[in-house]
Structure 1
Amino acid sequence: MRNDLVASLDIGGTKIAGALVDSGGRLLARAQRPTRAQSGAAQVAGALSEVLDELAAAPDWHRAGAVGIGSAGPVDAKAGSVSPVNIPSWRDYPLVAQVREHAGGLPVTLVGDGVALAAAEHWQGAARGRTGALCMVVSTGVGGGLVLGGQVHPGPTGNAGHIGHISVDMNGGLCACGSRGCVESIASGPSIARFAQEQGWRPGTDGDGTAEAVAASARAGDPVAVAAFDRAARALAAGIAATATLVEIEIAVIGGGVAGAGEVLFAPLRRELGRYATLSFVQGLEIAPAQMGTDAGLVGAAAACWKLLENGSRGPGAA
């Protein structure tokens, strides 16, 4: 029966993933391709088309009533376009129009990847049932989305909650977004690894210079690696506290590859949050790891799509 599934797309700098998702959040058919982010716009679009073609070949495709997209941003939900920082060839790229045409005219809704994460965690994860939440992904970049008044709040363009580009150091280094001292420029995985190496940390014999390797060194007590994660935690704490002060959230949920460091990140984050979240109405703010894992983008894009269908309206980002 048509309309008892939605198609979901998760578009990032590393991969483009797709799935058919039922109303309980269960992922059925899946497809995935490398983004080829440093190639031309047509090559990236080709990878997207391959994912859609594979989904359309699934036996259950005819049951899909709409398509939800969670994309690296910035996105422009009103225009249906995206300009991901980590896909240089896509600037004001008409993503919604391409997907709608490729999907046989199905309605399409677009949100930023941070909003998709928030939708997933609020639907089935660590923020389930919460009235106010900030849900973050800390990985190659730092993104986020907000839950306000018990509803995911994408904002007019689909970018609300993008905490990675809150400046926490006015004299800080240049960020990829063009500003300075952004949370992302300090707390992302590449930023952690770069800072550690600048301070004298060196990869082991395997040559692994990633934040994951820095985390392993921190667990072993390497003081430079510990300092790199302490610095990242301080930037995250400042951004989270500023957000909580502004909109009164109850919980900050953190996922992504860097969050996989566990207590190497979460212990200093909780400590630093105590220094920044000082007003009475933010002192009880909880910090929790995300629960949705690598499927968060797909589940969240589907959640946004289901909300569109339930409301019976086209809503922000719908076409």
Structure 2
Amino acid sequence: MRLVFAGTPEPAVPALRRLLDDGRHEVVAVLTRPDAPAGRKRRLQRSPVGQLADAAGVEVLTPVKASDPEFLARLAALAPDCAPVVAYGNLLRPAALAIPPHGWVNLHFSLLPAWRGAAPVQAAIRAGDAITGASTFRLEEGMDTGPVFGTVTEPIADDDTAGSLLGRLADSGAGLLAATLDGIADGSLHPVPQPGEGVSLAPKVTVDDARVRWTDPPLAIDRHVRSVTPAPGAWTEFRGARVKIGPVTTTGFDDLPPGEIVVERRRVLVGTAAAPVALGTVQPAGRPAMPAVDWTRGAQPAAGERFDLGERSDGGGR
């Protein structure tokens, strides 16, 4: 089949690379988000998917909106049979959805209908799910509501971060997407409607969402921090300045008041709603991440000093 591949960030790269390497289908173009400023000098940079397409000599399409008439005309001229999608990040309207005869086939990193939305991996870790996976489905106007072609499953380890789990799902999902396209091409695979029960939503995680609330129980804090690592990154405030923190370790030691910092010889404890947690890394603004004990040598928290509790002023939750 002739394919137009739509994707933008690094987790979409394994799927595009798999399709290019397999050679069973022809990737005639790649659709990705426009070049964006990156790095300290804020120079325009091609997306990871766009960079791979450039290296492979594949045409790259970067419309600001996928409804742009010029883009729609070019897409029609390319005459794709099918358009695989992995984390493209732009809304596809009916005019674009109607062009490929076999539609747009989305690779989504959850077991649909669980965790529909922009951040399924983060949501699965935060909820304490034991199993997640990836699904391929036919894209339609609803958010991740289309019929499903196939799935793969993946266990969630106790120390998984969103980054480590997404990396595994990107690799296994690439194989699933390739197999789905093969089945569509030979007519052996047909999508099945999603069940009406078991639907859960996973909206985009913002920087504000990533703030640590020390009045939560330790297990919830552990899951929260891992769910936003590496991006957007868990953070808290110390003496009015924001610091990022890496994954924590739960402990069974005596309670500390929420947010209170206790420095031991080889670890740093912080109080929660129950037992304290041990910090892993701390990253002050403008500096690299460092072991928590090293951070305390410079910060020198006083006895009884605390991180900001992270509670919203209106008393609401995250």
TM over 0.5: no
**Whose radius of gyration is greater, 1 or 2?**
2
TM-score range with shorter-chain normalisation? under 0.3
Task: Give me the TM-score of the superposition, normalised by structure 1.
Answer: 0.27
Q: Which has the higher contact order (CA 8 A, sep 6+)?
A: 1
Structure number with higher helix proportion: 1
So what's the TM-score if we normalise by structure 2?
0.27
